[in-house]
Structure 1
Amino acid sequence: MENNQVFVDSSFSAIINAPIEKIDIPAWCFGLPENEYQSCSPAHIAAGFTTAPDGTKMSINVEIIGGSLMVQHYVEQLSEPAHLILLSVSDVFTPNGRTTIQVHWELSVKKIDEKTCEFTNRVISRPTPDFISFIDKQGIPFEQFKAQRQPASIYHNQTETPLFAKSIEHHALRTN
């Protein structure tokens, strides 16, 4: 599902005080205990792990962003120790009903020196055809929804990024 319309494209970075050789973002993501996921944002409700029908790893995240409950079904697209890309058609529960959006979640690290890395957390949200129909039925123009959604999504990403970095750091330092 390729869609050029974008609600939000936000990217934030934070420092990880661990050597890049010890970092394994997929191992962190697919092994993250629920309580640690919850500690990375007050908006995080639950996390779990399963597989997609084709056997690909999947992370299930439940959170509230901008007042809407979201159930995200993140399917692994690229999996390398320093780079993970996940794609979800996420269920969104709003006061006006249920719909879906597409979320591209990209986590990466770059080496700064022998002891530190820069972690980047990028989230790109796009409407699905279901979503376009959902807002059309309510008479909400896409640009209006986008303007209303961006602040909450950007704030969420900005606040969870340093906490994810700290969690990845702890994971890297307690393994190996």
Structure 2
Amino acid sequence: MKKLFQTVCETTINAPKEAFNLHDWVFTLSDKDYQTTARGHIAAGSSIHTDGTQTSVNVESVGGNLLVQHYVAEAKEPDYIKMVSMSDLWLMKLIHIVVKVTWEMRLISVSKNECKFQNTVLVEHPNFIMKILSALALGGYFVRKHNEEETPLFAKNLYERTFKEKV
């Protein structure tokens, strides 16, 4: 696989990282909550494969391209989750290809009462020509802008759902 682009965004949460469980949050994120965390978020849901593996299915539009992602968690800790998807991508909603998307979220302690929410997206494809095409289509720019929008909204949703549920 060749890296097409990667983006990392962070935002501060005014609570200790021990208050949160990223795995539980991402796999119980409602369709409506997902839609409110970025303009390009169309739909989300969770399901179980026949082997019992939990999946998160996300549908989104990034830079005019439609993605359907089928994430499986490779790491699932309360403060770190790494999910990988062989994602269906329709370039300009016309040309279908499959890309590998790795989505990582982590909570990093800043102080006793504060942490950082870090959101990383890596997109890969085996064909070098896709690296050239994605650069020409400004794919990295659009994914970065999307990540910059969703990161603080994901953190806000994580905070609100965590503390709403504890009340």
Residue matched to 2:61: 64
Residue matched to 1:12: 9
TM superposition shift of 1:124: 0.4
Residue matched to 2:105: 107
Bigger drift between 109-118 and 42-51 goes to 109-118
Q: 1:21 aligns with which of 4, 9, 18?
A: 18
Residue matched to 1:169: 159
Q: Go from structure 1 to structure 2 and tell me whether the alpha carbon gap of 1:141 and 1:89 turns closer, same or farther (over 3 Å shift).
A: closer
In the alignment, the residues of structure 2 paired with residue 68 and residue 10 of structure 1 have an alpha-carbon distance, to the nearest angstrom, of 17
Q: Is the 8 A contact 2:11 2:155 kept in 1?
A: yes
Question: Identity of paired residues, percent?
Answer: 32
TM superposition shift of 1:144: 4.0
Give the 5 Å matches for 1:1-176: 3=1, 5-94=2-91, 95-128=93-126, 132=127, 142-147=131-136, 148-176=138-166
- TM (norm. structure 2) is 0.91
Moved over 3 A (4+): none
Letter in 1 for 2:6: D
Aligned length: 164
Letter in 1 for 2:60: E
Q: Is the 8 A contact 1:52 1:75 kept in 2?
A: no
In the alignment, the residues of structure 1 paired with residue 80 and residue 96 of structure 2 have an alpha-carbon distance, to the nearest angstrom, of 32
> Which of the two has greater strand per residue?
2
Q: Is the 8 A contact 2:31 2:45 kept in 1?
A: yes
In the alignment, the residues of structure 1 paired with residue 114 and residue 87 of structure 2 have an alpha-carbon distance, to the nearest angstrom, of 33
Bigger drift between 165-174 and 42-51 goes to 165-174
Q: Is the 8 A contact 1:22 1:175 kept in 2?
A: no
RMSD of equivalent CA atoms: 1.6
Q: Is the 8 A contact 2:72 2:85 kept in 1?
A: yes
TM superposition shift of 1:110: 1.0
Q: Is the 8 A contact 1:14 1:162 kept in 2?
A: yes
User: 5+ unaligned residues in a row in structure 2: which ranges?
Assistant: none
SS of residue paired to 2:24: helix
